[in-house]
Amino acid sequence: MAPALHALIIGVSAYPHLPGGDGPVGMETYGLQQLTAAARSAAAVHSWLNSAAGRLPVPLGTARLVVSPSAAEPADGALATRENVRRAALAWREDCASDRDNVAFFYFAGHGVQRTRTDAALLLRDFNDAPGAPLYNAMDVNNLFDGMAPTVDRPNIARTQLWFMDACRAYPSQFDHFETLTATPVFEVSLSDYDDRCAPIYFGSLPGANAYSVPGGQTVFSTAILECLEGAGCTRRAGDQWEVTVGSLAQSLGRIVELVNEEIGGSQQAFVGGQLTRTGAPIVAVTGVPSVRVSLELRPETYVDEVQLAVRCYDGSDRAIPAPLSPNPYKDRWPAGIYDLSAQPPDRGIRREQLWVLPPDCPWVGQVTVP
Amino acid sequence: MSELRFRTPLRGEIPVEVYDHDLRLRGRVLTSQSLELEAGDYRVIARVPDGPQLRATVTVSTESSAVAELKRDRVRRPGTLALEATRHAAIARDVTYGEYFPDPTHRWIREGISPRGFWTIEGEPDVWHRPLVDRPPEVFSLRFLCPPALPQCTILPRESLGHLEWSVVEDIRGDLTFETRLKHGGARNLLAYLERGQVDGAELLAKSVASDAEQLLYEKGRDPVAAAAGALGLLAFGDLDRLHDWTKNLRRRFEWLPDGLITHAEHLARLGKHDAAVEALQELTNRALPILTLSLSTAVTRMRSYVTAGLGGSMLAAATEALTRYAVACDLTAAVTTFPAVDPSLPIARQPTKSEHQRGS
């Protein structure tokens, strides 16, 4: 069997045993509510993988989707109970273990209780279904990660593994003695051999506030991930190909998360951990020239009417820029490239310059002076 | 081919990216290094974590070398707030409070005032007591008090104080943060780049810190805290060959340094030598709290794996529980382990904000 990418994608929005759920709710609810975007986000990631199949470094082998959707979300995929997730994970691991050149891809969106920068307990659909061990229907990132290490039993497990944790707002302080709690293991514990995986963990979590998702849409983190994978996180090395690599994704993800946060008033943060053994490892090739977020701003705001900006593309065509600049900052998306920016009248402090529009974004600020 | 060198307004070396006219990344080097390039126009970018981007456009000719003078852009990013703190006269961004510690065996207090009110830093020698620990380590406990916020605490091995510096930083919301930083610029930058996900730049910095390994471990300017940061960086990038005996020597030469134990244990674990790794982590019981947040995170992750596997006995389990208590409390964005607590031996786990409580979320 040729190397392939094998994906396990989990999205848990509906928690029947939390307030607002359609099951019996326990005495303790840990400050948690239903989610509205996790399952949709998982479905979007699943859809993206299928659409990008021809651009991945290896063919797409399997893409398992396990969800617990809210009423407003699509319901494709097995239900994300602990048992279903366990079975899917075991099958996923067996697929990944067939060839060391396989690529493993894991994405989870839902409630998570964060321990360290890149370790958390991820809560599944049947969380809180009975009193007793609070994390019985949860899984540990640590257990998953350890279970995917090369061992005597699985010497050829995928050496490139991409982990995405899109966790939301469960707090350790809400659990009694959280430091001693352990989730039910998904994988049996098996200590690794020499661990030479390239296995970054991209972790999106909240520092302690606000929005997790674009209203009616996806999570901030999944929105940013997909924007990066579609070009905002790419780089161009030798040859003409633009591609997203382990390192370029890590570099861009935090910035795109910031920009999405600004748009919707969110406050997710992005962390990168795990093993970054080959930062140049390719994740996906980008078709054509990537589209880059551009922001043009004039300061001070009171002088916006004093200046008209003009932008010329490298092919000689002009980009339409509102005059006066409105809104300020003016935001658009342009193909990556070098642009010529000038201003009229020329004595307002804005010098002609080249704008190098490179991923992940190109913000520009001009300081206007009035003679 | 001609040589391109770099100049920035910042102290210390930082990573830069060099792009050609076709937007290809032609190289990534440190500002202390140079790059050989063909004649042409190039864009140089330095992405400073929690700071502005630095940029330059430079023309390289065939006749002579060129220097890219990188300048700050004017873009206001969330992380640039720290640079604005210098506008607040009451708060000195770059004052090294460490210089004012007369003696780590004596109590020390410093006070100040900001637009938010009074703040106090209290430091005192202490012993870090925990259950089942018969030789609790001697530490220096620091608390930053600025009501109504919870006190921010750090617990440091006394021997580490000479390698750290402190500042009080005000952000754009007016909130004050007590920041403990590494004195070693390269190591400090390495942790900052890693924390912000700028892994390509962090990898360069890790190698640069590693090239100073002899000096950091043995020579007059030795700095074991910086050495531990460098080791963590190389572990993150899987550069186990470059680590060689570094982690073993760091652990042996600086027995007081918990981070040295952790990096050696992690190195052993990655090589598949789990028995030795467990033995190293068991020794953490009698050490102070890991200085670096990344060390704490690495230790907790690895220890939890071993405890789950039934290794290390009750000693490792107790140590894991104790460190996890700090891991779920500490500021994940800080380089040095910092956590809220009224009593430093009782860290307060991360909790919802007041507004989240009110929304019932």
Q: Identify the pLDDT of residue B79.
A: 47
Confidence band, pLDDT 50/70/90 cuts, at residue A65: very high
Which are the contacts of B54, defined by CB distance < 8 A and separation ≥ 6? B8, B9, B10, B16, B45, B46, B48, B70, B71, B72, B73
Whether the CB of A369 is below 8 Å from some CB of chain B: the reply is: no
Spatial contact of A85 and A124, defined as CB atoms under 8 Å apart: yes
Query: Is the confidence at residue A3, as pLDDT, over 60?
Result: yes
Q: B194 versus A161: which is more confidently predicted?
A: A161
3-state secondary structure A203-230: EEECCCCCECECCCCCEHHHHHHHHHHH
Burial (CB count within 10 angstroms: exposed 0-12, middle 13-18, buried 19+), residue B31: buried
* Cβ atoms within 10 Å, residue A56: 18
Distance from CA of A228 to the nearest CA of B (A): 14
User: What mean pLDDT do residues B164-171 have?
Assistant: 80
Planar angle of CA A42, B359, A126, nearest 5 degrees: 40
- Statement: residue B114 has pLDDT above 80: no
Query: CA geometry: angle at A147 spanning A140 and A136, to 5°?
Result: 30
Cβ contact (<8 Å) for B296 and A116? yes
Q: Are A210 and A269 in contact (CB under 8 A)?
A: no
Q: Is B348 on the interface with A (CB under 8 A)?
A: yes
Which residues are CB-neighbours of A262 under 8 A, at least 6 positions away? none
pLDDT class of A206 with cuts at 50, 70, 90 = low
Q: Cα(B42)–Cα(B221) distance, rounded to whole angstroms?
A: 38
**Of A97 and B162, more confident:** A97
pLDDT of residue B172: 61
Provide the pLDDT for residue A268: 81
Inter-chain CB pairs, A–B, below 8 Å = 177
Residues linked to residue B120 through DSSP beta bridges, in sequence order: B111, B145
What three-state secondary structure class fits B259? helix
A32, A202, A276, A283, best to mutate vs chain B, most B CBs in 10 Å: A276
**A248 contact residues in B (CB cutoff 8 A):** 200
Query: In this predicted structure, what is the pLDDT of residue B199?
Result: 92
Q: What does the block give as tokens for A205?
A: 């979590």
Give the rounded percent of residues in chain B with a pLDDT score beyond 70. Answer: 86
Query: What burial letters (b/e) apply to A83-122, b meaning 16+ CB within 10 Å?
Result: ebbbebbeebbebbbbbbebbbbbbbbbbbbbbbbbbbbb
Chain-centroid distance of CA B135 in Å reads: 27
| Residue among B292, B218, B253 at smallest CA distance from B266 | B292
For B349, name the nearest residue in chain A, comparing CA atoms only: A173
Polymer length in residues for chain A: 371
Strands A269-275 and A199-205, by their bridges, are: antiparallel
Q: State which residue of chain A sits closest to B304, comparing Cα positions.
A: A142
Q: What is the pLDDT, as a whole number, of residue B173? A: 65
How far does the CA of residue A338 sit from the closest CA of chain B (Å)?
8
ipTM given for this complex: 0.90
**pLDDT score recorded for residue B103:** 64
Q: B307 pairs with which residues across the strands? A: none
Average pLDDT over residues B203-217: 84
Report which of A191, A134, A142, A197 is spatially closest to residue B304, judged by C-alpha positions.
A142
Q: What are A332-360's pLDDT values in tens digits?
A: 999 999 999 999 998 899 999 999 999 99
Cα–Cα dist B282/B296, whole Å: 14
Contacts of A54 (CB under 8 A, 6+ apart): none
Structure-model confidence comparison of residues B166 and A71, the more confident one: A71
Residue from the list B25, B269, B308 with its beta carbon closest to the beta carbon of A236? B25
CA distance B20 to B22: 5
pLDDT category at B220 given cuts 50, 70, 90 is: low
Give A210 or A215, the one with higher predicted confidence.
A215
Tell me if the bond preceding A345 is cis, omega within 30° of 0.
yes
pLDDT single digits (tens) B60-113: 998 889 999 999 887 766 543 333 333 333 333 344 444 445 467 788 888 888
Picking from B302, B296, B308, B309, the residue whose alpha carbon sits closest to that of residue B347 is B296
Beta pairing class for A291-299 and A361-367: parallel
**Of the candidates B25, B43, B274, which has its C-beta nearest A356's C-beta?**
B43
Q: What is the pLDDT of residue A128?
A: 93
Dihedral in degrees, nearest 10, Cα atoms A321, A323, A327, A333: 0
Which residue is listed with tokens 């640590």?
A142
| Per-chain mean pLDDT for chain B | 84
Q: For B193, name the nearest residue in chain A, comparing CA atoms only.
A: A251
**pLDDT score at B356:** 52
DSSP B164-224: EEEEEEE-TTS-EEEEEEES-HHHHHHHHHHHTT-HHHHHHHHHHHHHTHHHHHHSTT--H
- Taking alpha carbons only, the member of B278, B281, B250, B93 closest to residue B170 is B93
Of A186, A181, A178, the C-alpha closest to A124 is A186
pTM value is 0.93
Closest CA to B16 of B49, B51, B52, B54: B54
DSSP B15: E
Query: pLDDT confidence of B351, banded at 50, 70, 90?
Result: confident
Q: What is the pLDDT of residue A310?
A: 94
> Is the pLDDT confidence value at B218 over 60?
yes
pLDDT tens by residue, A72-119: 998 888 999 999 999 999 999 999 999 999 999 999 999 998 888 878
Flag whether pLDDT at B216 surpasses 70: yes
pLDDT at B91: 36
Exposed / middle / buried, residue B253 (Cβ in 10 Å: 0-12, 13-18, 19+): middle
What mean pLDDT comes out for the span B148-165?
A: 90
pLDDT tens by residue, B178-199: 888 898 888 999 999 998 889 9
User: Residue B357: which H helix or E strand, with range?
Assistant: helix B354-359
Check A189 against B77: CB less than 8 A apart.
no
Q: Which backbone phi and psi does B72 adopt, to 5 degrees?
A: -70, 145
Give yes or no for a contact between B220 and B280, defined as CB atoms under 8 angstroms apart: no
Q: Which two tokens stand for residue B22?
A: 């076709």
Phi then psi for residue B281, to 5 deg, are -70, -30
Q: For residue range A233-265, what is the model confidence (pLDDT) as tens digits?
A: 999 987 789 999 999 999 999 999 989 988 887
Residue B246 to residue B357: CA distance in whole angstroms: 48
* Residue B49 confidence (pLDDT): 80
Contact assessment for residue A74 and residue A39, using Cβ atoms and an 8 Å cutoff: yes
Chain A from 168 to 197: CB within 8 A of any B CB: 169, 171-174, 178-180, 182, 185, 189, 191-196
Asked whether the beta carbons of B347 and B340 are under 8 A apart, the reply is yes
pLDDT at B46: 93
For residue A131, the model assigns a pLDDT of 86
pLDDT in tens, A268-317: 888 899 999 999 999 999 999 999 999 999 999 999 998 999 999 988 88
Asked if B122 and B145 touch (Cβ cutoff 8 Å), the reply is: yes
